[in-house]
Amino acid sequence: MQVLAQLTLNGIAVGAIYALVALGLVLIYKATEVLNFAHGDLLVVSAFSAWGLITVLGLPFWVAVLLVIVAVSALSYALDACVIRRIAGQPQFAGVMLTIALAFMLRGLVSMVAGPEARNYPTPFTGQHSSLAGVAIGHLQLVILGVTLAVTVGFFLFFRHTRLGVAMQAASQNQLAAYLNGIRVKRVNSLVWALAGACAAVAGVLLAPITLVDLTLWFVTLKALAALVLGGFGSVPGAIVGGLLIGLIEQYAGVYLPDGSKDVAAYLVLIAVLVIKPTGLLGEAHGRRV
Amino acid sequence: MHFDYHTRYRQGFALLQRPGERISYGLLMALLLVMPAFLSPFFLGELSYVFILCVASLGLMFLTGYTGQVSLGHAAFLAIGAYAHAWFLARGLPWPISLPLAALLTATVGVLIGVPAIRVSGLYLAMVTLAFSIIIEHLIGQWSSVTGGFTGMAVEDPKILGWSVSGPAGFYYTCLFVLVTVLLGLLNVLRSATGRALIGVRDSEAAAYALGIHVQGYKIAAFGVSAGVCGLAGGLLAHHLKYLTPDGFTLLLSLELVLMVVIGGLGSLRGAILGAVLISLLPTAISRLKPLLPPGLANQFGLEIFVFGLVLAVFVLFEPGGLNARWLKLRALLQSFPLYRRDTFKRNKRYMKSERYR
């Protein structure tokens, strides 16, 4: 029972990160119909720059986090405004290839600047635990949960109650109609990329202390894809639910299923969902259009 | 400039469309056949590796370029082919039986994956194949009784008619033979009714269906053929690597295969070969160029992957037709030399077309 509670807690903490990453992916997908394979590398960039700011320059944690968020949002805005925008109107596959190319370039740049070896940086919560009924609760896990909750609620309010948020929804539903209503679609799309970049920065800064600051952080994109598919592709609440579920499934699989199944559990879920129920849990049901 | 002018129906399907092609392809073949007399064993090995990747790239092109099914996980089929071939050899099967058997096994796996996978298309299919290849990689690592797990397994070095298969010249000719066979086979499939059906499925599933083409069946068949060809390439790759570990068949290899197909130009076998040649020679070229670069840049880990990304980005942005389109343009320029017009291949402006509900 205690093991189960501990696993659930760990699963929710990891799942919250997956949910954040999936949230960034789904924002970009809904706005520009590009599946951003470079999203994980934005996480890598933010983790490495957080390491640089905290360990090398010696800035306080929160200042570093703020700087990283601003910088990665700007990078993400620039990626859309300078590169991704040029392939609008080409087949979806072109977007996949272009973001894979960007992912390679970002990863190459990071390892050229910082070196490929793994490292770590201290946070104010590293190594601090509370105990509740025999379950160890790391303060970092609590922070992750809190931040994810805050980001989710923030996005909900933003998309529901601000002019820019509504404009973003409009542009993602029908670009031409939005443009005719006076929305600057290109700029709005780039701003969506910036938002997603901020999401990736938060996720990267929070994920790195759990794992390590390492180039393999980008693999979280693939987990987030599984989360997206499980929750229903293109659905924002689905991304959150899917992320949490994938986190839980992984933790349970690591203990209750045979050796080695923790690493593949997310991918098995992805295949199973796509084959059995391609719309996912919360996805919009839609017919085929020819 | 050359225009297609057919006086008989059958001319449209001819393997060699132009009069000069017989000579130029013959010369190329002769050049490739006499290569071993001039090149050092190292370069022969490199060329054999290029041929192997060409075979794999042809396999993926058949699926992605001609049937329109995106796969980001073809390294899994290479892995299955390689391990199956090595396992059959270790069980004492002769080489000429083991290799086709490995290809057949891979094709079966391809069909088994294809049956559920073609229920989804586009991005979803890309994700399914991606997940499949990661699962296969882990499976190979775990199933140590057959694959040797993470410690790996050695590949035996059999002899046919006294020739060592993995000696430099012997292996070169083996790879060349397999490449030419696969290329001719695919060319012939693609100019038959089957090939036109596949292209129909790629361009519009609904139209193909309305014309009486069994869309699902053709997609599964294309998956099987593509997997089988990649299995063949995997079997050869086993001899090139000589020692198999799961690390040899990671996601990066899958992505490299997709890179070859995209950079070569989707929808052309020539593109598959050009792309494979470019991508397989790029790492060697980078390591040769490294001494010329300033030492601060040259010793950096990550330069290679950066260049890969740069090349891919440049092609996607500026030449979506890939190397094949570039070649066609160059040929048109040479053939119509003083009369070449700048706008011959100008692309029309396209507008956003949603694929969200496909």
CB within 8 Å: B142 and A111: no
- Write down the mean pLDDT value for chain B: 84
Cβ–Cβ gap B310/A96 under 8 Å: no
CA gyration radius, chain B:
21
pLDDT at residue A130 is higher than 70: yes
**Domain span holding position B39:** 31-249
Find the CB nearest B313 among A101, A109, A225.
Answer: A101
Burial of B269 (0-12, 13-18, 19+ CB in 10 A): buried
Distance, in angstroms, between B297 CA and closest chain A CA? 8
Region B310-321 average pLDDT: 88
> d(Cα B38, Cα B58) in Å, to the nearest integer?
27
For range B113-141, the mean pLDDT: 85
Give domain status of residue B320, yes or no.
no
Q: Which of A253, A264, A281, A207 is nearest to A13 (CA)?
A: A207
Total count of domains within chain B: 1
Task: Decide if A108 and B135 are in contact by the 8 Å CB cutoff.
Answer: no
Locate the chain B residue with the closest alpha carbon to A30: B356
Say yes or no to pLDDT of A289 above 50.
Answer: no
User: Taking CB atoms and an 8 Å cutoff, what residues of chain B touch A103?
Assistant: 309
Span B9-14, average pLDDT: 78
**Nearest chain A Cα distance for residue B93, angstroms:** 32
What does the alpha-carbon distance between residue B346 and residue B181 come to, in Å, rounded to a whole number? 36
Tell me if A167 is assigned to some domain: yes
State the pLDDT confidence band at B275, using cuts at 50, 70 and 90. very high
What are residue B243's DSSP bridge partners? B154
Range of the domain at A174: 2-127+135-214
A216 CB within 8 Å of a chain B CB: no
B322 Cβ neighbours under 8 A, 6+ residues apart: B262, B263, B264, B265, B266, B268, B271, B274, B275, B315
pLDDT per residue as tens digits for the range B57-75: 999 999 998 988 888 989 9
* Interhelix angle B215-241/B168-190, nearest 10 degrees: 170
Does the CB of A285 have a partner CB in chain B at under 8 Å?
Answer: no
B264, B280, B282, B281: which is closest to B272 by C-alpha? B264
Residues of A in contact with B351 (CB under 8 A): 89
Q: Is residue B339 part of a domain?
A: no
Q: Which residue of B has its CA nearest to A84?
A: B317
**pLDDT number for residue B183:** 93
In the predicted structure, residue A287 carries a pLDDT above the cut 60: no
Number of domains comprising chain A: 1
Measure in Å the smallest separation between the Cα of B117 and chain A Cα atoms.
Answer: 7
Rg over CA atoms, chain A: 19
Complex confidence, ipTM? 0.85
Mention every residue, 6+ apart, whose C-beta is less than 8 A from residue A194. A73, A74, A76, A77, A80
Best probe of the A interface among B120, B129, B147, B305, by most A CBs < 10 A, is B305
Name the more confident of B181 and B146. B181
B128, part of any domain: yes
Q: Is residue A149 part of a domain?
A: yes
**3-class SS of residue B19:** coil
Inter-residue contact B172 to B35 (CB < 8 Å): yes
Does B259 have pLDDT greater than 60? yes
Q: Which residues of A touch B120 (CB under 8 A)?
A: 274-275, 278
Q: Please report the number of interchain residue pairs, chain A to chain B, with beta-carbon separation below 8 angstroms.
A: 142
Record: contact B312-A97, CB cut-off 8 A: yes
- Residue B89 resides in a domain: yes
Please indicate, yes or no, if residue A245 is contained in any of the structural domains. no
- DSSP tag of B66: I
Chain A residue with Cα closest to B261: A97
- pLDDT band with cut points at 50, 70 and 90 for residue B358: very low
Nearest chain B CA: its distance from A284 CA (Å): 11
With respect to residue B104, please indicate whether it lies within any of the assigned structural domains: yes
Query: Please, are residues A30 and A172 in contact by the beta-carbon 8 Å criterion?
Result: yes
Query: What SS3 class is residue B154?
Result: strand
**Confidence (pLDDT) at B110:** 93
Tell me if B16 is assigned to some domain: no
**pLDDT higher than 80, residue A285:** no
- H-run or E-run covering B24: helix B21-38
Contact B351 A108 (CB under 8 A): no
Look at residue A222 and tell me if it is in a domain. no
Question: Which residues in chain A are closer than 8 Å to B144, comparing Cβ atoms?
Answer: none
Mean pLDDT across A237-245:
89
Q: Which residues of A touch B357 (CB under 8 A)?
A: 286-289
- The answer as to whether B156 is a domain residue is yes
Q: Which positions in chain B touch A110 (Cβ < 8 Å)?
A: 302
A257 interfaces chain B, CB cutoff of 8 Å: no
* Nearest-CB residue to A107 (from B117, B123, B302): B302
- Tell how far CA A202 is from the center of its chain: 9
Amino acid at residue number B37: A
Instruction: Establish if B220 belongs to a structural domain.
Output: yes
User: pLDDT tens digit string along A4-36?
Assistant: 888 888 888 889 999 999 999 988 988 888 888
Tens digit of each residue's pLDDT (9 = 90 or more) over A95-117: 888 999 999 999 888 888 887 77
Q: For residue A143, what pLDDT is reported?
A: 86
Could you tell me which of B68, B37, B293 has the C-alpha nearest to residue B168? Answer: B37
Residue A260 with chain B: CB contacts under 8 Å: 138, 141-142
* Cβ-based burial of A250 (10 A; exposed 0-12, middle 13-18, buried ≥19): buried
The pLDDT value recorded for residue B287 is 81
